Each structure stands twice: as structure tokens, then as C-alpha cells.
């Protein structure tokens, strides 16, 4: 290095040729500008722009570095002072400066002259500058921190990458060197190193910055690895102080445009199989592919990460969530969720919280949300992991169900029956007003199993068993039981219910009725009693009686006397009341034609046959005289509904003629002539 070089630089510094350029630092998650790194440029009158790699060593060697920095910093601070306050400046200090105890003063002075707040400043120190100088560096950085500045370790990974250095100095940021970033997509080793440095930074609580980000794929991967800030040509080349304000404005405009056109879920060109860890990739795929909205919120309820499904549900791209709070992203839901979010932050999980809101597009959305507090290794809540299910469709089905119940209620209010509904488990949800009228039990008292208070104690076990069978099987219920009425009396009721099934075949609801069958039951009992009385008479009369139905002629019943006369039991039979079963003959021995049978004549033609004397062959060729009286049975309207025949054994009266008859009959054998019919008893 020649003294001319030093002299030239001296002249350059004096004539203000060394100027700051500004390279943007951007938040990877949101794309938002976070600040600029100040990079020195020498606008040489003859050589054009000279880069720092060339003149910084000259300045260091020539003892000009302090002055150089002073002039660059004042210009940089002056240019940046009017920028929004959240934008920070990073400046580089060289190893030599770190040995100089006046660094603090120099920086402080420059900031003061420009009116720039030290809290907006980050001082970058390369690791190699620390070697052999740790104690001193510790003092200098400590002083800078006291002024409010932050300290970054620059080019991490290229020097000693010593954990001791990281540990010894109060670093706030760690900058991953660009050589790793440039090759991280093509080289697994680079990827591993970047992941390790980012992981190291995260676990030490440092802000991680990646340098040399030149394309989107690198940015995506860095984001996925959890890196906080990016710097590189992707976001912009260093700009001069004059262009600074313009850059900030243009960036804001660009960001707004980007987030507006970004597809919901983000447009990631980043391939999972290129990830350093297969397992993480799979988890990521599950996270993204889950049909449930998932996200992680930090303690300030800001979205740290989320999956595509949630972005879709919230109608906003993933990037529009990151770093923003729940209140900002879904204000329409926030009031309903807030108390539960607070609970989750205090460590209490929340399961299946239902919420409902009108979305921007006017559609109603219903959600079921669960919060799981996430604890760190010390048991402190560090955030909330959230699962959200869109239940709009399910709820509207329930609504439809409610509506149909409304409909059902309408129709049944007109019905004389008590109506009721029960849930899938058989818990009564509602019973119509008639129930209260009848039993005096209120709706509330009758809910679930409350209605059974009205049951007759004797009917409880039977009823409970039948109801349980229906609940288990989904099969309809139909049974009778007694209930206690308001007046204290018991009344018989018939309970019926059928299940309404869901799409999956499971019971959704039971719809039931309760019919007052008390009077009907009493009438039926009365009828049974009178029937029994008639039966007793029927059975006891010394005349054979056979009743048949019209028009079929099928025998309905016969009394014991009739069976005795006919010599065989009378069983309800398809056979028409005549011909085949009753071999009857006229006095002249001629067999009766089927239409001549008294019962047939009564049923088919409504004739009344009065005591016709005929010969009956009761089996084994034995024949006896019988007298048959037949009459039709008519309904109230006069239609023939049946016929009755009365049989009397008149053998004793006709006995004297037996021989003659025997002679006559002897010639005409019948088809049933040889059939053996045993008299009953
Ligand atoms: P550095 O601190 O690591 O600065 C980053 C360097 O990477 C800059 O080079 C920058 O222009 C370059 N760079 C930024 N983005 C990209 C990218 O996407 N791709 C590529 N290939 N390069 C990118 P520059 O400006 O030539 O600075 C070189 C070094 O000189 C800096 O490295 C820094 O250590 C030092 N330096 C710059 N200005 C100053 C200063 O004012 N004082 C001191 N002491 N050192 C300075
Ligand atoms: Ca730097
Ligand atoms: Ca660097």
C-alpha cells in the first residue's frame, strides 16, 4: 500500500467523496422493510465508484478509519433521520476500530450531530475482529449497548464460529454469511449450516439475518427455517442517500400490491423434498394439508405460523397474517374469542368453542375453535396452538333440523296426541303442551327422564326396558302404560316413537306421540267381557252352532255340541261351510248339491232355512238324522257378513225309519263313506 493511496483517500474523505449507500433489510415473514445496512462507497473523481473492500483496508492502515466512519455515519444518519422510526440502520465497524476506546464517542457524536436515535442503530462486528481482542471488544460493545444500540455478529460461519464469542459478547443479532445462503439450495452442507446457525440464533434469543438473498426460493427456505430478516439483491441493491426516501415509498407500494395479489395460502415455489429434514417436511405437509385450520399464536396473539386451510377460512393470504394479531386479522370474531384466548394464555385449554360471524363477503361463517397453550421447558406459556373447524355447513344442517322440528311442532299442535321429541340418547327434549295439561308436569320437570315421574310404578320396568331397546336399536317404540293425571287418576296411554336418522345412519332425534287410549281400552275391555259372556252361552247351549263368514263361507267357530254332532272338531278352515265336510243326504238318499246346503243358502242368498231334516253321515258308514236351521248374519247396513247354522240330532225322533233309510242309503255310497270320524270327547 502506497502513501499516495492514503493521501488520495485523505483527500477523498475531506472532499466528501466517501458516501453511505443503503441496502434494505427485510422481514422474511411479511416482506416488510425493517431497516438498512450502511455500506461505504467512494465516488472517486477519476476511478468512478470504488468499493469498500479496496479502500477500507487503506483507511485502517492509514489511520483514517475513524475519520472515514465519522463522515459516512453523519451522512447516513442525516439521510435516515426522517425515515419512519421503526426503520433501523446497521453500520459496520472494523477490527481496528474495535480496539479504539473512542468508538463509542465517535458513533455517539455522529448520531447526536444528525439527531439520530441510538436505539435505531445496530453495530455489526465481524467475528475475526474479536480474535485476540475479546476483553476490549466486550467493553466497547457494552458501552454501545448502554447508549441503546444493538450489536450484531457479522459474517457468522466464515470466521471461528466460536460459541465462546457468542457467549462473551451481548449480541442481539446474528448474520448468516452470504456464501452459505448462495449455495443452500444446491448444497446440503450449506443448508445444514444455515439451519444450524438459524437454530443457534433462535435458541439464544437472537434476531437472525441472512445475507446475500438473491432469489425467492432462498427466501422461502430461510423463512421456513425460521430466519427473521433477509438482505440481498432480491430486496434491492444498495441505494444512495438521495434515493433512500424514494425506495421506502416504493417498497411500501409494492408490498401492498403483493399482498393484494398473493393467492390465498401463498404461492410457494419451494419444494418440501429439498428440505434438510425429511421429518420436518412431512410435518409441514400435514400441517399444510390438514382439513382443519391450524396456527400458532405468540403471547401477544400474533400469528407466528398458520396453514393454508386457516388462510382460506380467514379469506386472506398467509403473509397477511404473519406478525399481525388475531384482532387485526379476524376482527369480526375477536370479541367472541378474546376471553378464551386470555384463558389459554393463562394456561387453560379451550375445546370446541363455537363462534359465528359475518365475513366480508356477507356470508355467515360458524367455527369451532380449540386452544392449546404451548409451554416452554420451564412451564411458561409461550403461545397458543390453535385448531379451527368450519362448522357452517354442519350448523346449517342442525338449523334445518330445528326448522323441521318447528314444522313438526306446528302440525302436531293440532293433533289430539301428546307429542314429544328426544335426543339420540333418549333424553326427552320437549313434550307438547298437552302433556303439561294432562300430568301437571312442566316442560322442565319432564326433560330427560323427568317425564317418568308420571308413570305408574308397575309400568316403569317394562317401559324403561322397551325404550332402552329402541334407543339401542333405533327401532320404533310402541307400548302402553299408565300415567298419573293432574287429578290423581291413572290413564292408559299408548306411546309411539320413531327415530330420525342422519346421513351416517345414526339416530339424530326421536319423534314421539302419546295417545290417550284410556276410554278405548275401557271399551275394549267391556267388549271382551260381553264376548266372554256370549261365548259361555254359545258353549253351553244344547244345540250345535256353527258360524261362518260371508262371502267366503269359511267356518269361523263352532260350539262343542256342534262338534259332538258332526263327530269332528271344528277348526277355522278354508273349506266352504258345506259340501266336502258335511256329507248330507236328502231323505231319498240323494246327496245334497253344494248350493243346497242350508249355510250356503243363508250366506249366499240370505235365505232363512227353518229346521230342515237331513241325513248326516258321521263316518264309518254310520248315518243319523239331523235338523238344520240356518240364517244369514247381517251388518247394521243389512249386508250379509256371515251365517249361522243350528244343528240338532233328531235320530231318536226319526229312529223308527232307520231301517228304511238304511236300505236306501245302502245303495248310494259316498266318496266320504268310509272315512272314520271320531266323535269329539
Ligand atoms: P458486509 O458487511 O458483509 O456487507 C455486505 C456486502 O455484500 C456488501 O458488499 C454488499 O454490497 C454485498 N451484497 C449485499 N447483498 C448481496 C447479494 O445479494 N449478493 C452479493 N453477491 N453481494 C451482496 P460491499 O458493499 O462491497 O461491502 C463489502 C464489505 O465492506 C462489507 O461486507 C463490510 O464488511 C465492509 N464495509 C462496507 N462499508 C463499510 C464501512 O462503512 N465501514 C467498515 N468498517 N466496513 C465497511
Ligand atoms: Ca456488514
Ligand atoms: Ca456480512
Compute the distance from residue 175 Cα to the ligand 2 centre, in Å.
Answer: 8
Question: Within a 10 A sphere around the Cβ of 413, how many other Cβ atoms?
Answer: 11
Kind of pairing, strands 477-484 and 544-549?
unpaired
For ligand 1, atom 41: residue with the closest CA: 40
C-alpha grid cell for residue 161?
Answer: 464460529
Instruction: Tell me if 678 sits within 8 A of 567, measured CB to CB.
Output: yes
CATH architecture for residues 541-665: 2-Layer Sandwich (3.30)
Q: Which residue has the cell 397477511?
A: 320
Examine the residue annotation and report whether 617 is marked as an active-site residue of this protein.
no
Residue 265: is the preceding peptide bond cis (ω within 30°)? no
Atom of ligand 1 lying closest to residue 175 CA: 3
Instruction: Tell me if 381 sits within 8 A of 345, measured CB to CB.
Output: yes
C-alpha grid cell for residue 251?
Answer: 417498497
CA dist 299 and 287 (Å) reads: 21
CA dist 470 and 406 (Å) reads: 24
Compute the distance from residue 154 Cα to the ligand 2 centre, in Å.
Answer: 6
Task: Calculate the CA 184 to chain-centre distance.
Answer: 41
User: Which CATH number describes the domain made up of 417-520?
Assistant: 3.30.450.20
Say how many Å lie between the first and final Cα of the chain, rounded.
145
Instruction: Tell me if 168 sits within 8 A of 191, measured CB to CB.
Output: no
Q: Where are the domains of the chain?
A: 3-253, 277-396, 417-520, 541-665
Whole-number Cα distances in Å, 556 to 173, 543, 575, 603, 681: 105, 17, 11, 13, 21
For ligand 1, atom 22: residue with the closest CA: 212
Instruction: Tell me if 22 sits within 8 A of 239, measured CB to CB.
Output: yes
For ligand 1, atom 23: residue with the closest CA: 212
Compute the distance from residue 90 Cα to the ligand 2 centre, in Å.
Answer: 8
Instruction: Tell me if 536 sits within 8 A of 649, measured CB to CB.
Output: no
Probe ligand 1: pick from 18, 92, 140, max atoms within 8 Å of CB? Answer: 92
Q: How many residues does the chain have?
A: 681
CA dist 398 and 405 (Å) reads: 10
Q: What angle do CA 213, 219, 220 make, to 5 degrees?
A: 160
Which residue, 606, 543, 553, is CA-closest to 579? 553
Q: Flag residues of the chain having pLDDT under 70.
A: 1, 259-286, 376-378, 403-416, 573-581, 655-681
Probe ligand 1: pick from 39, 50, 59, 219, max atoms within 8 Å of CB? Answer: 39
Atom of ligand 1 lying closest to residue 234 CA: 18
Compute the distance from residue 158 Cα to the ligand 2 centre, in Å.
Answer: 13
Pocket of ligand 1 (CB under 6 A): 23, 39-40, 51-53, 56, 69, 72, 92-94, 154-155, 178, 211-212, 214, 232-233, 238
Q: Can you name the residues that pair with 334 across neighbouring β-strands?
A: none
DSSP letters spanning 247-258: HHHHHHHHHHHH
Q: What letters, b where the CB count within 10 A reaches 16 and e where it falls short, cover 168-193? A: ebebbbbbbbbebbbbbbeeeebbeb
Instruction: Tell me if 105 sits within 8 A of 71, measured CB to CB.
Output: no
CA dist 429 and 421 (Å) reads: 6
What are the start-end ranges of the E strands in 48-167? Answer: 48-50, 88-93, 121-126, 150-156
CATH superfamily of 3-253: EAL domain (3.20.20.450)
**Fold identical between 3-253 and 277-396?**
no
CA dist 378 and 203 (Å) reads: 14
Model's pTM, two decimal places? 0.49
C-alpha grid cell for residue 78?
Answer: 442525516
Residue in 124, 173, 211, 220 annotated catalytic: 211
Compute the distance from residue 37 Cα to the ligand 3 centre, in Å.
Answer: 10
User: Which CATH number describes the domain made up of 277-396?
Assistant: 3.30.450.20
Amino acid at each position: 500500500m502506497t502513501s499516495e493511496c492514503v493521501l488520495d483517500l485523505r483527500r477523498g474523505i475531506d472532499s466528501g467523496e466517501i458516501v453511505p449507500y443503503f441496502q434494505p433489510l427485510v422481514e422474511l415473514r411479511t416482506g416488510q422493510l425493517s431497516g438498512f445496512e450502511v455500506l461505504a462507497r467512494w465516488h472517486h473523481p477519476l476511478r468512478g465508484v470504488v468499493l469498500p473492500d479496496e479502500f477500507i483496508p487503506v483507511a485502517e492502515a492509514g489511520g483514517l478509519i475513524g475519520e472515514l466512519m465519522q463522515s459516512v455515519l453523519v451522512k447516513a444518519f442525516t439521510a435516515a433521520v426522517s425515515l419512519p422510526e421503526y426503520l433501523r440502520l446497521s453500520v459496520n465497524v472494523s477490527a481496528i476500530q474495535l480496539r479504539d476506546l473512542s468508538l463509542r464517542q465517535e458513533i455517539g457524536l455522529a448520531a447526536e450531530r444528525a439527531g439520530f436515535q441510538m436505539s435505531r442503530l445496530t453495530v455489526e462486528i465481524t467475528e475475526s475482529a474479536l480474535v485476540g481482542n475479546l476483553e476490549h471488544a466486550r467493553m466497547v460493545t457494552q458501552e454501545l449497548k448502554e447508549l441503546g444500540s444493538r450489536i450484531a455478529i457479522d459474517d457468522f460461519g466464515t470466521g471461528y464460529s466460536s460459541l465462546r464469542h457468542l457467549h462473551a459478547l451481548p449480541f442481539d443479532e446474528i448474520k448468516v454469511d452470504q456464501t452459505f445462503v448462495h449455495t443452500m439450495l444446491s448444497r446440503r452442507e450449506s443448508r445444514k449450516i444455515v439451519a444450524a446457525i438459524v437454530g443457534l440464533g433462535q435458541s439464544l434469543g437472537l434476531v437472525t439475518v441472512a445475507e446475500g438473498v438473491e432469489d425467492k426460493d432462498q427466501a422461502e427456505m430461510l423463512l421456513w427455517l425460521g430466519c427473521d430478516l433477509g438482505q440481498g439483491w432480491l430486496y434491492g441493491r444498495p441505494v444512495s442517500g438521495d434515493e433512500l426516501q424514494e425506495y421506502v415509498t416504493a417498497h411500501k407500494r409494492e408490498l401492498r400490491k403483493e399482498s393484494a395479489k398473493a393467492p390465498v395460502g401463498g404461492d410457494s415455489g419451494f419444494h418440501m423434498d429439498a428440505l434438510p429434514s425429511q421429518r420436518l417436511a412431512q410435518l409441514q405437509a400435514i400441517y399444510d394439508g390438514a382439513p382443519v385450520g391450524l396456527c400458532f399464536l405468540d403471547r401477544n396473539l400474533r400469528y407466528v405460523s398458520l396453514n393454508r386451510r386457516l388462510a382460506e377460512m380467514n379469506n386472506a393470504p398467509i403473509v397477511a397474517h404473519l406478525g399481525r394479531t388475531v384482532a387485526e386479522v379476524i376482527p369480526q370474531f375477536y370479541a367472541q374469542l378474546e376471553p378464551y384466548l386470555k384463558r389459554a394464555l393463562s394456561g387453560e385449554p379451550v375445546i370446541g368453542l363455537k363462534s359465528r360471524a359475518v365475513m366480508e363477503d356477507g356470508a355467515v361463517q360458524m367455527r369451532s375453535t380449540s386452544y392449546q397453550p404451548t409451554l416452554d421447558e420451564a412451564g411458561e406459556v409461550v403461545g397458543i396452538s390453535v385448531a379451527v373447524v368450519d362448522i357452517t355447513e354442519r350448523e346449517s344442517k342442525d338449523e334445518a333440523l330445528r326448522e323441521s322440528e318447528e314444522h313438526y311442532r306446528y302440525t302436531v299442535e293440532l293433533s289430539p296426541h301428546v307429542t314429544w321429541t328426544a335426543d339420540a340418547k333418549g333424553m326427552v327434549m320437549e313434550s307438547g303442551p298437552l302433556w303439561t295439561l294432562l300430568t301437571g308436569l312442566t316442560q322442565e320437570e319432564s326433560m330427560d327422564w323427568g317425564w317418568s315421574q308420571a308413570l305408574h310404578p308397575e309400568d316403569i320396568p317394562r317401559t324403561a326396558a322397551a325404550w332402552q331397546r329402541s334407543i339401542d336399536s333405533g327401532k320404533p317404540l310402541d307400548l302402553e302404560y299408565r300415567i298419573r293425571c293432574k287429578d290423581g287418576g291413572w290413564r292408559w296411554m299408548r306411546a309411539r316413537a320413531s327415530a330420525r336418522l342422519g346421513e351416517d345412519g345414526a339416530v339424530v332425534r326421536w319423534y314421539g306421540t302419546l295417545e290417550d287410549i284410556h276410554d278405548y281400552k275401557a271399551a275394549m275391555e267391556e267388549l271382551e267381557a260381553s264376548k266372554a259372556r256370549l261365548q259361555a252361552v254359545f258353549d253351553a247351549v244344547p244345540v250345535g252352532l256353527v258360524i261362518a263368514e260371508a262371502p267366503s263361507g269359511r267356518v269361523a267357530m263352532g260350539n262343542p255340541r256342534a262338534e259332538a254332532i258332526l263327530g269332528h272338531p271344528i277348526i277355522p278352515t278354508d273349506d266352504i261351510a258345506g259340501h266336502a265336510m258335511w256329507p248330507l243326504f236328502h231323505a231319498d238318499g240323494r246327496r245334497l248339491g253344494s248350493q243346497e246346503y242350508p249355510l250356503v243358502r243363508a250366506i249366499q242368498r240370505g235365505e232363512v232355512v227353518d229346521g230342515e231334516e237331513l241325513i248326516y253321515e258321521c263316518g264309518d258308514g254310520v248315518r243319523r238324522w239331523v235338523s238344520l236351521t240356518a240364517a244369514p248374519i247381517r251388518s247394521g247396513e243389512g249386508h250379509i257378513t256371515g251365517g249361522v247354522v243350528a244343528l240338532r240330532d233328531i235320530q231318536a225322533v226319526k229312529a223308527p225309519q232307520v231301517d228304511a233309510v238304511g236300505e236306501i242309503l245302502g245303495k248310494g255310497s259316498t266318496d266320504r263313506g268310509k272315512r272314520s270320524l271320531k266323535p269329539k270327547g
